[in-house]
Structure 1
Amino acid sequence: MFENIPVNVGAAYEGERIRSANMFVELAGPKSIGAELVRVKEDVEDGRIKVIGPDLDEMKQGERHPFGIKIEIAGKDLEEDLEGVIERKIHELCNYVQGFMHLNQRDQIWCRVSVEAKEAGFRLKHLGEVLIALFKEEFNIIDKISVTLITDEEKVKEFVEEARKVYEKRDARVRELSEEDVDVFYGCVMCQSFAPTHVCIVTPDRPALCGAMNWFDCRAAHKIDPEGPIFEVEKGEVIDEIRGEYSGANDAVLEKSQGTIEKVYLHSVFEYPHTSCGCFEAIAFYIPELDGIGIVHRNYKGETPLGIPFSTMAGQCSGGKQVEGFCGLSIEYMRSPKFLRADGGYERIVWMPKEIKEMVFDFIPEELRDKIPTEEEAVTIEEIKEFLKEKGHPIVKRWKEEKEVTKEKKEEKEEAEETPAVYAPELALPTSGGVRIVLKNAKIYAEKIIIKKKK
């Protein structure tokens, strides 16, 4: 099938990582722009591959270029609802190519080409050939397919804007549903090639961490590929509605994580947060000094209030780990009415980058919009604390309440320690009816001891 491709192609190369020392060029990624998009069309020129902008032989080692992957498909059984499902497969199928690395999804893609692949003669047109062949093999409902690969900066910018409009249309549709409206959730283990214990639970209120798959997308994916990486999860018993704990979800993560993860809270970063793969768009992280939660996304280049950048934090909580106080999530989940509701929702959010805030601004309660600082107002713990006090963020009231509770507990402890005690190795209590009660090694506490002279 791939005789004309100068590198090997197969599932064995999925999960291959290309480090900077072995990188020829980087395409898109956190320091550039890029996107991927699948569209169902009526008129598609089957097999057409177009490269807009410089190909690999026109690039220099160590360079970074914007990158767009646009795939158009046609088929009598194809419908618009399947676009997101087929689009998510780009990640997996690109990684079948030896020497080509594809990470993330949608407008967060990050690709690299190895030095060895380039020297072997690999070009972007070969990537197009592989995608066409593998997509037709994977989805027999695709009759025609064309691939356009874009590296011209201005064209990529236009393409990213086009793609984002499509993403928004897809996401808006699922906002009309809630977890109470359905009996079935969906699970996804597509990322287990590099996060072996990660099981993504997708509900109407919680899209996949990658942001690329919502509940409708998963339903369509399972329908066309029942044996694939996306599977049905019976909701089962509602164990904790606020935290988002369901017996069916617990059973699914226990089974699919090889017994590593026993339970999951879908709407909390505490105790049993959702596992994180590495494809997440953002991370929610607990800030102990503020008793609040911060949000950071992969496009943010600076340090978070914890003193570490996104990349370091991602390394700590990715790979399928369940780390209390840290949770990968999609930007779309921040638009959900159940967004971290067990932790207080937006009333518990005390910091986020300006870019995220602008993306979800209309979904933040109006009374909180000017009370959550970004990197432009505060970054350090002390700066954030002063900002929150000045703006009257609800977390400030929480601090006062916790301080009062702590003070009461301290006073109770001190009072107990100061209360006089009478110790007796043996103490007999007066009774009637011929019964005698004897207390051995008794220690009696009393607020007051009154001694009266017997008359």
Structure 2
Amino acid sequence: MFEDIPVEVSPMYEGERIRAANMFVELAGPKSIGAELVQVDDSLTEEKFEVIGSELSDMNQGDIIPFGLKIAIKGEKLEQELEGVIERRTHDLCNYVQGFMHLNQRDQIWCRVSTEAKDAGFKLVHLAKAVGTLFKEEFPIIETIAVTILTKKEEVEEFVEGAKSTYSIRDARSRELSDEDVDVFYGCLMCQSFAPSHMCVVTPDRTALCGAINWFDCRASAKMDPDGAIFEIEKGEVIDEEKGEYINVNNMISQKTQGETERVFLHSVFEYPHTSCGCFEAVAFYIPELDGIGIVDRDFNGETPLGIPFSSMAGQCSGGKQVEGFTGLSLEYMRSPKFLQADGAYNRVVWLPQNIKESLKEYIPKDLYDKIPTDADATKVKEIKTYLNDHNHPILERIANQNQTDEEDEEDSVSTTSQEDTTPEYAPVMTSPEISVPASGGVRIVFKNAKIYAEKVIIKKKK
């Protein structure tokens, strides 16, 4: 099947990592531009695999090149509703190619070609042929396919803009429904090769973490392939509507992650936040000093208020880990009326990058928009606190109420303490509705309505 391709093509290479030291060229990624797009094209008459722009043989080691992957498909049973699901498989199928690494999705793709693959005679047109063949094998309803790879900057720029427009149309359709309108949610396991203990839960109000798959996409996929990576979850009985916890969802997550994850809150970063894969578009993170939540996306290149960049934060909470105070999410989820509703939604957001804020102007409450600082206003916790005070952010009322509760607790404590007590004065540095701490023997200690006090907090940045 792949005799004319000089490298192996097999699922065994899925998950292969190409580090900088072993890289010939980088395609798209954070230092360039790129996108992938699958579209149904009824006018397609013949299969075609081509490269528009430079081939690998025209590039130099270490180059960072714009990259577009344009895929046109045709088939009697194909419909536009399937485009997003088929497109999401680009990630897996590209990674079947030995010496080619594909990360992320949509206009966030980041690819690399290894020096070994280049030395073996691998070309980008081979990638196009491999992807086209794999797509037809994976989806028999595809009768004809054309794969075009773009590396010419002007062509890629035009392609990316068109792709973004298509993504927006798909996303807008997903806002037609809410969780209350359906009886079925969906589970997605497409990222389990990279995150074995992760299962994405997709609902009308919560798109997949990658941002590439919504509820409608999942419905079409499950209908086409009921035994595939996307499957139905009967919504069933709700445990907590505000937090977004459902009995059937918990049962399915436990089953699909071999018991690694047993509970998930779809709309909270606390207690049992949704696990994160690695392809998520953004991360929501708790800032203890402000009792607020920050958001950072993978396009942000600076340091977050926690003193670490997106890449470090993503490394801490990806791979299917369930880390309280952190959760991966899609940018589309931030347009949902249920966005972190259990935590206070935008009333609890105290920092996010400027570009995200501008893109969400229609969805952030008008009375809050100017009160939420961005990286253009503040980057350090002290600066953010000043901004929140100057703009009367609603988090101040929450902090004031919390401080009042703390003072009352301290007064009660003082009344039962002797005059000679020399215990040092501690200040509250973190509050959470629930904090879980692992202990030996598989025991998990859970603190309800926890308040953590410390005489001194020292935060050191790793060198």
Is TM-score (shorter-chain normalized) higher than 0.5? yes
Alignment of 1:79-94 (within 5 A): 79-94=79-94
Aligned to 2:33: 33
The alpha carbon displacement at 1:266 in A equals: 0.1
Aligned to 2:116: 116
* 1:105 pairs with 2:105: yes
* 1:284 pairs with 2:284: yes
Aligned to 1:42: 42
Provide the rounded CA distance (Å) in 1 between the counterparts of 2:268 and 2:55. Answer: 45
Aligned to 2:451: none
Q: Match for 2:370: what amino acid?
A: D
Q: Match for 1:197: what amino acid?
A: S
Secondary structure of 2:116's match?
Answer: helix
Would you say the 8 A contact 1:295–1:351 is kept in 2?
A: yes
Structure 2 portions without partners, runs of 5+: 420-463
Secondary structure of 1:227's match?
Answer: coil
Greater shift, 291-300 or 351-360, is seen at 351-360
The alpha carbon displacement at 1:381 in A equals: 0.3
Aligned to 2:440: none
Aligned to 1:212: 212
Aligned to 1:400: 400
Provide the rounded CA distance (Å) in 1 between the counterparts of 2:297 and 2:82. Answer: 27
Aligned to 2:446: none
Q: Match for 2:70: what amino acid?
A: K
Would you say the 8 A contact 1:23–1:114 is kept in 2?
A: yes
The alpha carbon displacement at 1:416 in A equals: 3.5
Q: Match for 1:199: what amino acid?
A: M
Alignment of 1:432-447 (within 5 A): none
Q: Match for 1:90: what amino acid?
A: T
Provide the rounded CA distance (Å) in 1 between the counterparts of 2:60 and 2:382. Answer: 45
Greater shift, 46-55 or 331-340, is seen at 46-55
Aligned to 1:447: none
Alignment of 1:29-428 (within 5 A): 29-417=29-417
Provide the rounded CA distance (Å) in 2 between the counterparts of 1:52 and 1:304. Answer: 38
TM-score by length of 1: 0.91
Identity %: 65
Q: Match for 1:356: what amino acid?
A: I
User: C-alpha deviations, 1:381-417, integer Å up to 9, x for none?
Assistant: 0000000000000001111111111111111222234
The alpha carbon displacement at 1:418 in A equals: 6.3
Structure 1 portions without partners, runs of 5+: 420-455
Aligned to 1:2: 2
Would you say the 8 A contact 1:196–1:257 is kept in 2?
A: yes
Q: Match for 1:149: what amino acid?
A: I
Q: How many residues align?
A: 419
Secondary structure of 1:283's match?
Answer: strand
Provide the rounded CA distance (Å) in 1 between the counterparts of 2:275 and 2:336. Answer: 19
Provide the rounded CA distance (Å) in 2 between the counterparts of 1:97 and 1:418. Answer: 72
Would you say the 8 A contact 1:45–1:145 is kept in 2?
A: no
Q: Match for 1:401: what amino acid?
A: N
Q: Match for 1:280: what amino acid?
A: F
The alpha carbon displacement at 1:45 in A equals: 3.7
Structure with larger Rg: 1
Divergent runs of 4+, >4 A? none
TM-score by length of 2: 0.89
